[in-house]
């Protein structure tokens, strides 16, 4: 854990931490480029513990925990902190939307005008000598909004390939954007239940949530091999037969998001390929088969779970794309780390964009950087 702390400081550019000993430098490089399996084998013996930690190396990606670079995915997921506590993730009271609401409120207090439900059809540019400069956006309803700068938090695919006309970007830059690998094997479930899961290994003692409900609950993955098999299935175009499930129950701590006694459960599930070799995610039977396999797996650990389900929403990679404009759901693997997300050498040197004009700086903030 101390190593995680040093390495995360390095990644955010903490000068003191950059003065690493040779040993720590080797460990850092190993984290960045090695397979997660190698990192975990180095530090731990228990298969179950390694598999539990390894799910954080696979999450959000289509990579195996034996793939080079998956060590970084693991580091990425444990290096954060909340209120000074390292490696801790938090729930947002009122649900994730409360973050956007708070940002919007703060922006409006500072004089910003917010317009919602307004899809951008085009980012407008004009030619200025060798550059294309951004002049604003065109909304789907035909409204033109003039601006000196446009910040986009849509994905690079949406921003640079759909919203900006091709001729406005340098070929080299566009080529890099086009080569971004968006494959992700994650499906998200939002489940409403009428009672808390009752885990066989830690049975409920009352109807109130216990510590076993507060954190991230890892279900299914009991060995590194198991996670790898689940990934191999997805690589061949099939949803994993025994998926890897991370369950969280935000309502166990946040009473504002469900009626008394009822709960909201989030399932982060891997692996589900964007394109299936057989069938289609739009098919009801394909969806039902996969959701049933997830619920049956949970049932093995928490008998009675399936019958407690009041309703659920299932978001496969194509659903995440359709509902949120989230292209594929970009892979966290190391070839997309730091400055490797489509920046041209010219931009790295000069710290600003060319041709894409000032829009590029904002766009770089998201899509190119802000993944989970």
Output 361 or 366, the one with its CB closest to ligand FAD.
366
**What mask of x and - would describe binding to ligand FAD in positions 44 to 83, judged by CB under 6 A?**
----------------------------------------
238 touches 185 (CB < 8 A): no
Of 133, 154, 224, 244, which lies in the binding site for ligand FAD, with binding defined by CB under 6 A?
154
Q: From the CB of 293, what's the least distance to ligand FAD, in Å?
A: 18
Position 372 contacts ligand FAD (CB under 6 A)? yes
Output 310 or 323, the one with its CB closest to ligand FAD.
323
Output 144 or 300, the one with its CB closest to ligand FAD.
144
242 touches 272 (CB < 8 A): no
Position 370 contacts ligand FAD (CB under 6 A)? yes
Q: From the CB of 200, what's the least distance to ligand FAD, in Å?
A: 26
Output 66 or 72, the one with its CB closest to ligand FAD.
72
Q: From the CB of 59, what's the least distance to ligand FAD, in Å?
A: 9
Position 186 contacts ligand FAD (CB under 6 A)? yes
130 touches 122 (CB < 8 A): no
Of 16, 119, 207, 349, which lies in the binding site for ligand FAD, with binding defined by CB under 6 A?
119
C-alpha–C-alpha distance, residues 3 and 75, integer Å: 10
C-alpha–C-alpha distance, residues 233 and 290, integer Å: 14
Position 142 contacts ligand FAD (CB under 6 A)? no
C-alpha–C-alpha distance, residues 238 and 73, integer Å: 23
Contacts with ligand FAD: how many residues (CB under 6 A)?
17
Question: Tokens 């991370």 identify what position?
Answer: 246
Position 325 contacts ligand FAD (CB under 6 A)? yes
Position 324 contacts ligand FAD (CB under 6 A)? yes
Of 329, 341, 347, 355, which lies in the binding site for ligand FAD, with binding defined by CB under 6 A?
329
Which parts of this chain interact with ligand FAD (CB under 6 A)? 119-120, 153-154, 158, 186, 188, 268, 320, 324-326, 329, 366, 370-372
């Amino acid at each position: 854990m101390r190593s995680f702390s040093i390495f995360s400081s390095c990644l955010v550019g903490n000068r003191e931490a950059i003065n690493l000993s040779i040993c720590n430098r080797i460990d850092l490089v190993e984290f960045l480029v090695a397979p997660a399996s190698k990192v975990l084998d180095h530090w731990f013996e228990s298969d179950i513990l390694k598999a539990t930690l390894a799910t954080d190396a696979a999450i959000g990606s289509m990579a195996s925990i034996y793939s080079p670079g998956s060590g970084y995915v693991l580091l990425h997921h444990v290096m954060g902190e909340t209120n000074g506590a390292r490696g801790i993730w938090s729930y947002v009271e009122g649900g994730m939307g409360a973050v956007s609401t708070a940002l919007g409120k703060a922006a409006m207090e500072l004089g910003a005008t917010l317009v919602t439900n307004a899809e951008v059809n085009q980012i407008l540019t004009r030619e200025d000598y060798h550059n294309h400069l951004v002049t604003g956006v065109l909304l789907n309803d035909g409204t033109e909004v003039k601006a000196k700068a446009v910040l986009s938090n849509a994905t690079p695919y949406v921003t640079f390939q759909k919203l900006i006309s091709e001729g406005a970007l340098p070929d080299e830059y566009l080529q890099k954007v086009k080569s971004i690998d968006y494959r992700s094997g994650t499906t998200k479930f939002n489940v409403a239940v009428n009672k808390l899961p009752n885990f066989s290994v830690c049975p409920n003692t009352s109807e109130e949530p216990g510590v076993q409900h507060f954190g991230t609950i890892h279900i299914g993955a009991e060995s590194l091999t198991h996670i790898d098999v689940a990934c191999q299935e997805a690589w061949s175009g099939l949803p994993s037969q025994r998926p890897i499930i991370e369950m969280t129950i935000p309502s166990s701590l946040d009473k504002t998001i469900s009626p008394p006694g009822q709960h909201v459960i989030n399932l982060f599930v891997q692996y589900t390929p964007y394109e299936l070799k057989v069938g289609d995610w739009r098919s009801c039977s394909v969806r039902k088969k996969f959701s049933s396999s997830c619920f049956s797996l949970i049932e093995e650990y928490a008998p009675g779970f399936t019958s407690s389900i009041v309703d659920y929403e299932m978001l496969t990679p194509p659903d995440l794309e359709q509902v949120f404009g989230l292209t594929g759901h970009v892979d966290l693997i190391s070839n997309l780390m730091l400055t490797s997300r489509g920046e041209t050498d010219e931009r790295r040197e000069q710290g600003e964009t060319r041709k894409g004009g000032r829009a590029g700086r904002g766009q770089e903030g998201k899509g190119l950087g802000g993944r989970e």
